[in-house]
Amino acid sequence: MYDLAPLARFGGLVATDLRDVTHDPEALDSTGFWAVCADFEGRLTCARFGDVRKAPVPAAVPGAWAGPRPGDWTSSLDRAAYTAGVRTVREHIARGEVYQANLCRVMSAPLPDPAAADVDALTALLAAGNPAPYAGTIRLPAHGVEIATASPELYLRREGDRVSSGPIKGTGRTAADLLPKDHAENVMIVDLVRNDLSRVCETGSVAVPALCELEEHPGLVHLVSTVSGVLREDEGWPGLLAATFPPGSVTGAPKSSALRIIEALETAPRGPYCGGVGWVDADSGHGELAVGIRTFWIDRPLGVLRFGTGAGITWGSDPEREWEETELKAARLVAIASGAYESGAPDTDVAGASGKAITR
């Protein structure tokens, strides 16, 4: 397995010839092309590659990815625990401690042949079965980073001194499924992202050019907003990450209170799920990081594949409906990774809702 060469794929580019690996965000303002992974818990890995070229994701090769069996997935929170967590979040909201908190669970399944597992082969399946605007791959097995993401959500885009974020809140199978609660939670998170960017942007430059726009993705729809600003001259990637991480859409508002509640209720670390995954071209001053949702990662020491799913909880949340939202977000992707996805089949009941649970 460790013979797999380091590699990264983003936006029609493939990067090879690994030169450096660091955990220092200052590197992103130096030189070269960097693949970036920031775990939700704060571990940052930046990998500089020497060869970056245009290349489409290769077509999926039958048998190249041997994923878990569909029935082997377990969840860090089963249905009962998750719905109880939703009720607890609503109690915190009733006490005025938080307006919204994103409650997540981590799904896991053993790989049948961990030594042969290659996230780049999984990437090919995801590209065919669930194309996404911020899809990407980082393969650094010697450094504990093996990620394949089909993220639909922009965490940070930087073009010189211009920065923007595209928070997603509000999910349904169709637009008709979206409720006033979905619009309300989107607006809450937009306000949080505005506040985060204001910490490092020029006064008066932070704006919301798009609010609650409907986006269609495979099997579901989202409400998406855009928040932008002009980075201050004395700020770079370290300050930008410090001001905005973890992303507001996967934490809650106020962020500090939401993080405290998340820590108490969730039983497994999120890892790269809900973190940041993407690339930075330090030479041009451009970069694009996705929120690490719809993301798989290999836990090499345990020989398992992991995937995270969650939902934003507000006072208007129904516990069972929020559970079903986490199932909807996971269903299609978990089926693809397990070799059980059939085009045209409904995206239901394949996300491991058996009630089996894993713990930290």
- Give burial (CB, 10 Å; 0-12/13-18/19+) of 77: buried
Break the chain into its structural domains and give their ranges.
7-59+68-337
Question: Average pLDDT over the chain, rounded to whole?
Answer: 93
In this predicted structure, what is the pLDDT of residue 352? 45
Q: What is the pLDDT of residues 102-131, one digit of tens each?
A: 999 999 999 999 999 999 999 999 999 999
159's tokens: 């073009």
3-class secondary structure per residue, 295-342: EEEEEHHHCEEEEEEEEEECCCCCHHHHHHHHHHHHHHHHHHHCCCCC
Looking at per-residue pLDDT, the higher value among 350 and 171 belongs to 171
Percent of all residues in the chain with a pLDDT value above 90, rounded to a whole number: 91
Percent of all residues in the chain with a pLDDT value above 70, rounded to a whole number: 94
In the predicted model, what is the mean pLDDT of residues 148-167? 98
Has 329 been annotated as catalytic?
Answer: no
In this predicted structure, what is the pLDDT of residue 354? 41
Which of 146, 153, 288, 322 is catalytic? The answer is 153
Q: What is the pLDDT of residues 203-224, one digit of tens each?
A: 999 999 999 999 999 989 999 9
Q: Which residues contact 298 (CB under 8 A, 6 or more apart)?
A: 111, 114, 117, 119, 146, 304, 305, 306
Are 339 and 137 within 8 A, CB to CB? no
**pLDDT greater than 50 at residue 351:** no
Which of 41, 97, 159, 169 is catalytic? The answer is 169
Has 181 been annotated as catalytic?
Answer: no
Q: What is the pLDDT of residues 74-84, one digit of tens each?
A: 999 999 999 99
Q: Confirm or reject CATH 3.60.120.10 for domain 7-59+68-337, answering yes or no.
A: yes
Q: What is the pLDDT of residues 268-292, one digit of tens each?
A: 999 999 999 999 999 999 999 999 9
Measured distance CA(274)–CA(167) in Å, rounded: 12
In this predicted structure, what is the pLDDT of residue 359? 35
